[in-house]
Amino acid sequence: MEPALIGTRLASAAIGPILKKLLVSDGPGAGLPGPSGTVRLSSLVSFRGEKRTLTERDVRKLAGTLVGRALHGDGEPPFPADETEAVTDTLATALLALGDLDMDDAQAVHLGHRALARRLRAAAPPPDGLATPSVLFLDVVTEVACRHILEFFTQRSTFVPRTLVEQSRGQAELRAKLDTLTARVPHPDVRDADFERRYLEHLAKKHGRLTIHGIDLHHSPDRWPLDLAYLSLEATGEAPGPDATGRPVPREQALRADLALARHDRVLLRGLAGSGKTTLVQWLTISAAAESGAEGMAYLRGRVPFVLPLRTLTRHGERLPAPDRFLPAAGCPLTPPDGWADRVLAAGRGVVLVDGIDEIPEAERGRARTWLRNLLDAYESNRWLVTSRPTAVRDDWLTPDGFTELALSPMTRAEVTTFVRRWHRAAGPEAEPYEQPLLDALRTHGHVAQLATNPLMCGLVCALHRDRRGFLPRGRKALYEAALSMLLARRDRERDMGDPSGIALDEAPQIQLIQRLAYWLTLNGRTQLDRAHAESLVREAVPAVQEAAPHDPGRVFTHLLHRSGLLREPTTDTIEFVHRTFQDHLAAKALVDHWDIGVLVRHAADDQWEDVIRMAVGHARPRECAEILRELLKAADAAEDRRIRLRLVLLAATSLDHATEVSPEVREEVVRRTSAVIPPRTSAEAKALAAAGRMIFDLLPGPDGLDVDAARLAVVAASHVPDDAAVLYLSRFVSHPVVAVRSQLIWAWHRYDTRSYAEEIVARLDPTGLYYSVQDDAQAHELIRLGLRPQLLQVHGEVSPGARDALLGHSDPRRLTLEVFEPRPDLTSLTGLTRLNRLSLVLPPDADWSSADLPAAPLRQLSIAPVPRDGLAPLSRLRDLRELHLWAAARLSPSLWRQLSTLPGIETLALTGTDLDRCPAGTVLPGVTELHLAAQADAAGLRRLVEVFPSVRRLHLAPGSHDLTPLAALTELRSVRAVGRTTGAEHLTAEVRTVSA
């Protein structure tokens, strides 16, 4: 018989009462009192214990009853009839075994009926000689009996409280075990938090101090806290400049370099050697690690910095690391929990600081970009900073990946003054007498001011001025030679330190040995090398250096490493120069000493060699200098790429400034060749030309005889030279008849001293058609001080509310472009304007403002972003309004479309092509005759606009927003004359031209 059928026969209403007789009745409560504190099964069965009501014989009778009921059902019997007695005895023995199990009712229920049946069968003697159907019947009937028995246990009044007690005990034991386990193996979140605390402390110690080169180490520390030393420099994006009408085009504004990542998630920051790129990385690192950061740095709170100096990551030619290798690759001794870096970056909490694209060989930079792109694809929601020298990678190198390109500006006069004061304060009281004389020299001696344009050179100037008791060398080469003399020889000798390393070497032999290291590093495109390799290079050179030859080469190397002041150990097994500039200077000397002119020329197109070549010209004797310059010009002639030709010619031109003596013929040839690229023909050429420095002012023509483009690009080139000589040249263009040229002069204001530039340039500008761009409070105050009242004004977001209000009240302009970065802007200064007829208002996307903030002036043109909180309908009060620009606002909702249709005076409208998708059916703006679509619109969108704007006669479309076939069909259907195809923001003001359908 099938097991299911056996179960059906036994699952009758009578089987429960039979099995219930096996159990005693229970009492109230949990049954906890008792000698043992536990109620076992032996006390719950009726044939055992003190409440015995059945005997073993009675149990056997019950078993016989069960067997009998199974036999007398319908169908075939479940086992042979002659085995009935044997089956009954075996079942009775199994039921009697219930009293021998060492468990209580709760444990039995937890065990389950099948497992309980197996326990009973195991406790009873095995059936002997029974047929297979009999054995099968016993298995089934035992499980059925156990199911009913367990059901009885769960119905007892004591079962529920007993179970709760057991659950409470079990949970308490489980908690204790979990606590023990957690203590031994913390949760990943706990481990991560603990590690991050240690990691940030490590970063704060490692990057929290700045080395001061050249101060008296006997009386002052050579390193001082970065939070006292750091000078926040300015970073700017390259401006596209004004358009053809002189109207300003939005650009990336100048801002504090350390706040660039607050505005942009991804930044490529360019800067010259010594301009402060690595110091900025240090500052960002300790700002993220600090619990309370400096002013404006709160945006880094809660973020985890990863400092990745590429020169360190690739010093052995290794593959650039994955996130789990970031820390060991960068030399961090701490071991993070498994997967920690992945969790940080996946959560978007990272600040990835990739320092020094220019410090790896040019051939490896493509691989570095691929590595960076893979990281961006996997962990896009972090903040990313990549630093580089200006010409190491092309302008759009990371633009497709969403990076904003910024450049560290040269230090302004005010910043130089601040740096000098901080340096002398840190250097101790003995340096105080030299502070003011140096500040005076920086104002009165042009050659000194030309050198102090970045933190490195400022530090050298301060150290040399103090070291030489107030006297400074002239020229870059002389400055470096004086610095080497101070670091290599005079410092220890003049402080009566004797020979702390047991070796006394003069300046010349030390330079001969150290320049071997500089030569190897530069030749191999590196900035670091293994300590063992560095020592081997010195060992090979020592026998040829007479003063060093008697000494043990190993001790000579140790002396150079610890006492020269030029070398340092970023890790225990690597060596590098304290700054790349010293490496370039000494490598150039070594190349000239070895007369490796061919090596110089072969690398002339490599940006890492630019300074080396310039300095080599400075080191060279007249004949050598002439040969280097001639070879550079020959290489320019042989280059097929125009950019490389321009670069080599400019390199020759910039090298002239470093030459001590050069033949007139060679100089004239370099000047003649340079004149071929002057004036520049593109903005890129203009910026490249500016790298030649102040000498370009002897070459740049103007303004007489220059066409518009040539004049504008000449001004662009000159305004990128951070030298006061630029102001003298630019002043010649203040009355230029073309507004685009004069607008470039306004854009350049931030690169020079605010007051002197205002007096020499801004105050003399012809204001006709000129937008005055005001980028900070100082510029606003200068306009007011000089009594200038610009009628065309652009006020940038960095201008404070107070300065903004004062300037607007003073000027009362007719045209205004106003940027405000506050989410709840104070626009009360607008309400006092009485002559304003054009207003462009740029606010944050979530700005809370109202149309009531707009002035009651006779506004004819209005550009707003975003839409005011009370919508567009209130604009109907502006009775003179004819032109409305919404191209920078959020997409128009159906409600805003309906409000827009209530403004009958609007004749010119600018919006995005995608706005048409949400325009409600039946909406018509019959008064609009000119339409600008600033984003893409497909053919369907173009057809839709005919329904909404039936009177349009001028249509301006962004490139790529249509093809001519549907446009031609549209033109035929509605006689729409399409004019003008422009790019970017320029589509609002570009000259209209007819496009044939």
How wide is the angle at C-alpha 693 spanned by C-alphas 688 and 695, nearest 5°? 115
pLDDT of 993: 28
Tens-digit pLDDT profile for residues 535-558: 999 999 888 888 888 888 888 888
Residue 146 — φ and ψ, nearest 5°? -65, -35
pLDDT of 936: 55
Please tell me the distance from the alpha carbon of residue 404 to that of residue 385, in angstroms, as a whole number: 10
pLDDT of 8: 52
| For range 811-826, the mean pLDDT | 90
Q: How far is CA 739 from CA 543, 652, 697, 814, 879, in A?
A: 68, 34, 22, 17, 31
pLDDT of 36: 41
Across-strand partners of 841? 818, 864
| For range 849-868, the mean pLDDT | 90
* Whether residue 213 has pLDDT greater than 70: no
| For range 349-355, the mean pLDDT | 94
pLDDT of 383: 95
pLDDT of 322: 93
Question: By C-alpha distance, which of 101, 104, 118, 116 is closest to 148?
Answer: 116
Residue 471's identity, in one-letter code, is F
Tokens 């052995």 correspond to 316
Helix (H) or strand (E) holding 860: none
Question: By C-alpha distance, which of 573, 558, 486 is closest to 212?
Answer: 486
* Whether residue 250 has pLDDT greater than 50: no
* Whether residue 5 has pLDDT greater than 70: no
pLDDT of 598: 86
Q: How far is CA 727 from CA 715, 717, 745, 749, 770, in A?
A: 10, 12, 10, 10, 19
Tens-digit pLDDT profile for residues 881-916: 999 998 767 778 889 999 999 998 999 998 876 677
Pair of tokens at residue 584: 């370039």
State the pLDDT confidence band at 168, using cuts at 50, 70 and 90. Answer: confident
Tens-digit pLDDT profile for residues 170-187: 778 777 777 666 565 555
Mean pLDDT of the chain: 80
Percent residues over pLDDT 90 in the chain: 23
Task: Compare 205 and 705 and report the one with higher pLDDT.
Answer: 205
pLDDT of 975: 40
Please tell me the distance from the alpha carbon of residue 734 to that of residue 730, in angstroms, as a whole number: 7
Please tell me the distance from the alpha carbon of residue 933 to that of residue 866, in angstroms, as a whole number: 17
* Whether residue 498 has pLDDT greater than 70: no
Pair of tokens at residue 661: 């003596």
* Whether residue 719 has pLDDT greater than 50: yes
| For range 242-258, the mean pLDDT | 56
Which pTM does this prediction carry?
0.49
Q: What is the DSSP string of 735-779?
A: T-S-HHHHHHHHHGGGGS-HHHHHHHTGGGS--TT--EEE-SHHH
Residue 663 — φ and ψ, nearest 5°? -65, 145
Q: Is 192 left (phi over 0), alpha (psi -120 to 50) or beta?
A: alpha
Give 244's contacts (C-beta < 8 A, 6+ positions apart). 740, 989, 990, 991
pLDDT of 425: 82
CB atoms within 10 A of CB 766: 12
pLDDT of 445: 67
Give 162's contacts (C-beta < 8 A, 6+ positions apart). 30, 31, 32, 39, 104, 105, 106
456 and 579 Cβ atoms separated by less than 8 Å? yes
Q: Is 565 left (phi over 0), alpha (psi -120 to 50) or beta?
A: left
Tens-digit pLDDT profile for residues 597-641: 888 888 888 877 888 998 899 889 888 899 999 999 998 888 887
| For range 567-572, the mean pLDDT | 75
Please tell me the distance from the alpha carbon of residue 314 to that of residue 57, in angstroms, as a whole number: 90
State the pLDDT confidence band at 793, using cuts at 50, 70 and 90. Answer: very high
CB atoms within 10 A of CB 543: 10
pLDDT of 973: 35
Residue 882 — φ and ψ, nearest 5°? -120, -20
954 and 934 Cβ atoms separated by less than 8 Å? no
Task: Compare 474 and 789 and report the one with higher pLDDT.
Answer: 789
| 3-state class (DSSP) for residue 426 | helix
Please tell me the distance from the alpha carbon of residue 600 to that of residue 594, in angstroms, as a whole number: 11
Please tell me the distance from the alpha carbon of residue 155 to that of residue 86, in angstroms, as a whole number: 33
pLDDT of 315: 65
* Whether residue 221 has pLDDT greater than 60: no
Strands (E), 763-837: 772-774, 792-795, 815-819
Please tell me the distance from the alpha carbon of residue 235 to that of residue 406, in angstroms, as a whole number: 6
| For range 37-62, the mean pLDDT | 74
pLDDT of 978: 41
204 and 230 Cβ atoms separated by less than 8 Å? no
pLDDT of 382: 95
Q: How far is CA 180 from CA 175, 184, 185, 974, in A?
A: 8, 6, 9, 81
Helix (H) or strand (E) holding 164: helix 159-184
The least confident of 140-144, 284-288, 687-691 is: 687-691
Averaging pLDDT over each range in 509-518, 576-585, 678-687, which range is the top one? 509-518
Burial class (CB in 10 A: 0-12, 13-18, 19+), 440: exposed
Tokens 């995608």 correspond to 914
398 and 366 Cβ atoms separated by less than 8 Å? no
Tens-digit pLDDT profile for residues 92-101: 888 888 887 8
Half-sphere exposure of 91 (CA within 13 A, CB side): 32
424 and 436 Cβ atoms separated by less than 8 Å? no
| 3-state class (DSSP) for residue 892 | coil
| For range 217-223, the mean pLDDT | 46
CA dihedral for 58, 61, 67, 68, sign (positive or negative):
negative
pLDDT of 928: 92
Pair of tokens at residue 121: 């069968």
What radius of gyration do the chain's Cα atoms show? 43
* Whether residue 957 has pLDDT greater than 80: no
